[in-house]
Structure 1
Amino acid sequence: MDKDFISKILMGQASEAEKETYYRLLAEDENERELFLKTKELWVITSANNKISEQTVDQEFDEFWSKAVHQVQDNKPSQKLFSLLRYAAIAILLIGLGSLSSYLLLNSDQASNHLVQKFSAEKGSMAHFELDDGTVVWLNSETEIVLSEDQEGTRNIELKGEAYFEVRNSDKHGLLVNVGDLKIKDIGTSFNVKAYPDDDFIETTLMEGAVDILKSNNATITRLKPGENATYMRSDKSLNIKNVDVELISAWIDGKFAFRDKRLEDICLELENWYDVKFRFEDKQLKDFRYSGAIDKTTTVGYVLKMLKLTTNIQYQINNKPYELDEIIIY
């Protein structure tokens, strides 16, 4: 395959049919796969560091291509590096419902062959991708994860935001989600983790299977059962476990806001994360008003507010600000 076609793949200009044909070639031809992965490694790292413009991309890619061909011909990647590089191909196969970006980061210690993959979904979007063993990860609005693999084959995930994991049972791969104060260890399962940096809480909800909640030093705190939700408060380091409706917790995957007896202030925080607006309560008592309902995320924030107004006594005013987040006043 020539460099112009690989350039189209890397720049996101190839059609779905072209990508499907090329990925099939990668699966069948080891030399082509090694060449592509090395080329992508050089391409992404240099692009991230130098902020390559569209005008200079052809010239830069010619240089990367020469380096990649030379490296693949002279130095085949080690088995460990190739094992990690498979995530580069996985990144290309991402299926996004909204805006999902990904890129590679390479450790400064080249001898360690330490490679990690970073994925993110912007505000107002969701996305998901699949790992090589069939594990599927969903990202909610304004979520970022960094994925790496240790020498034992455990996938380590650093999470900021909210993600849903459908993990395939595997003797070769474990999965550990790090959210700062806590770690969530997969035992072959489906689970949801909500850990936005600005929130005082971390929520883990188990749909199927089992997960262990660990301290940052890997000491086990508890093991969740299906239908259980563990809420950890950062302020006082308390952990509360309760039974919940898992369909409500995972409704965001189906593109819905779903609330059951939820505080209006907490609802507004979700709306802020999705619509990139800011809420302000003139009547502080309204923060504790509780609401139940389901609303599609494809609607506008104005429509959501109308729905809330129909079933409550709230009034609202939207202040459009050209250079700041639009402000919505609740009174």
Structure 2
Amino acid sequence: MEDLEIIKFLKKELTGEEEAVMLKWIEESVENRRRYVELKNTWVLSGMIPDAGEIIARNKGIKTLHIGSSSPGNPILSLLKYAAVVITTIGLTLCLYHYMSGHGGGSDICYHTVSAPLGQATDIILADGSKVTLNSGTVLTYPANYSKKNRCVALEGEAFFEVISDHDNPFTVTSLGIEIVARGTSFNVDAYSDDCDIDVTLVDGSVDIYSNVGKSLVRLNPGENAMVNIESMDIQVSRVDTKFFTSWKRGMITFSNRRLEDIAKDLERWYSVEILFLNDETKDIRYSGTILKHKPVDQVLEVLRLTSDFQFNIEVINNRLSRIIIKE
């Protein structure tokens, strides 16, 4: 499938028959879905309006800046609450070429990426005043021309969004193929790439969620959580205590009837360790409770061990805790 046809599909310029062919192509393979999502993310982030022409994306290279300590003249650092943040400026990674009225006129669009390192959280204030808090191991990408009228970001990981109200200019989060559209809202998105589902939890305001092919899935009300399966786009909506989904902002991991394997994923991200299970039965042990993130990981596991039947060993490599093995 040509990239040009995918862009036309995103812009709703295909006929009904052509749309059916496109949908069939997207569902044919993981590779097709990945290419579709890549182009869709680029199209959303570019802030292009429907008549802006055709968009073709290609990768050219990445320049990475490791930011250690702040300097008075650095405007980027004024956006960050924590110093230990890696900012990746993607200069030519996604260059969008658009053609209007049959004439070529290429232009480069620069993207910024902010990463929260493992074991840390990061606060960002965007140009429109909206605030984003990134959880450990999370990456947020947004165009350099992000503004009050172009409010599009891409997310991989978990983040809490506090969006400045603007009903004329929606705020769009693209993550693992789905779109979350808000106008003045506080909500949490949990979308790590190694999970099967995306969790969207609304604290206040409202958000609309769209599938990877632009289908409207649901509009959430405050206090609701939507769990979207990445592959099937099946969605489950339920009333929840939002504190369970936002407690990580307060330095806690709160869970209810959650599998040990899923808790271990959070511990890996926060403590920057690898956790291995020697048997599947141990993975399915379920817990309810709260973990304080500032406690050492061995103390956290010891508390979990006392209420169930498993053991764990800690491996230290180069004087650093690197791997935890959980067994019966």
Same topology, TM > 0.5 = yes
| CA displacement 1:233-257 (0-9 Å, x = unmatched) | 2243321111221001000011111
Q: CA RMSD in A?
A: 2.9
What's 2:126 paired with? Answer: 131
Shift of 1:171: 4.7
| CA displacement 1:135-167 (0-9 Å, x = unmatched) | 110001111011125799232111111111011
| CA displacement 1:272-312 (0-9 Å, x = unmatched) | 11112222223422222211221221111111111212332
**Structure-2 separation of matches of 1:290 and 1:51:** 41
Contact kept? 2:134, 2:159, Cα under 8 Å: yes
Task: Give the alignment partner of residue 170 of structure 1, picking from 133, 158, 166.
Answer: 166
| CA displacement 1:41-69 (0-9 Å, x = unmatched) | xxxxxxx74989x9xxxxxxxxxxxxxxx
Of 320-329 and 220-229, more deviation after overlay is shown by 320-329
**Structure-2 separation of matches of 1:50 and 1:301:** 31
1:264 corresponds to 2:249: no
Describe the shift of the 1:174–1:154 C-alpha distance in structure 2 as closer, same or farther (beyond 3 A): farther
**Structure-1 separation of matches of 2:195 and 2:110:** 30
Of 277-286 and 140-149, more deviation after overlay is shown by 277-286
What's 2:327 paired with? Answer: 330
Task: Give the alignment partner of residue 226 of structure 2, picking from 207, 226, 230.
Answer: 230
Contact kept? 2:128, 2:147, Cα under 8 Å: no
Ranges in structure 1 where 5+ consecutive residues have no aligned partner = 1-47, 55-87
Task: Give the alignment partner of residue 145 of structure 1, picking from 140, 143, 159.
Answer: 140
* SS, match of residue 266 in structure 1: helix
1:203 corresponds to 2:199: yes
Q: Relative contact order (alpha carbons < 8 A, sep ≥ 6): 1 or 2 greater?
A: 2
* SS, match of residue 153 in structure 1: coil
What's 1:213 paired with? Answer: 209
Of 142-151 and 208-217, more deviation after overlay is shown by 142-151
Describe the shift of the 1:270–1:308 C-alpha distance in structure 2 as closer, same or farther (beyond 3 A): same
Amino acid at match of 1:260: S
What's 1:277 paired with? Answer: 273
Which structure has the greater CA radius of gyration? 1
Task: Please state which structure has a larger fraction of its residues in strand.
Answer: 2
How many aligned residue pairs are there?
249
What's 2:179 paired with? Answer: 183
Shift of 1:103: 4.2
**Structure-1 separation of matches of 2:147 and 2:159:** 25
Contact kept? 1:98, 1:124, Cα under 8 Å: no
What's 1:306 paired with? Answer: 302
Identity of aligned residues (%): 33
* SS, match of residue 154 in structure 1: coil
Amino acid at match of 1:100: V
1:319 corresponds to 2:315: yes
Shift of 1:173: 4.0
**Structure-2 separation of matches of 1:49 and 1:282:** 40
Q: Report the TM-score, using the length of structure 1 for normalisation.
A: 0.67
| CA displacement 1:196-239 (0-9 Å, x = unmatched) | 11111111111111100012343322101111111112243321
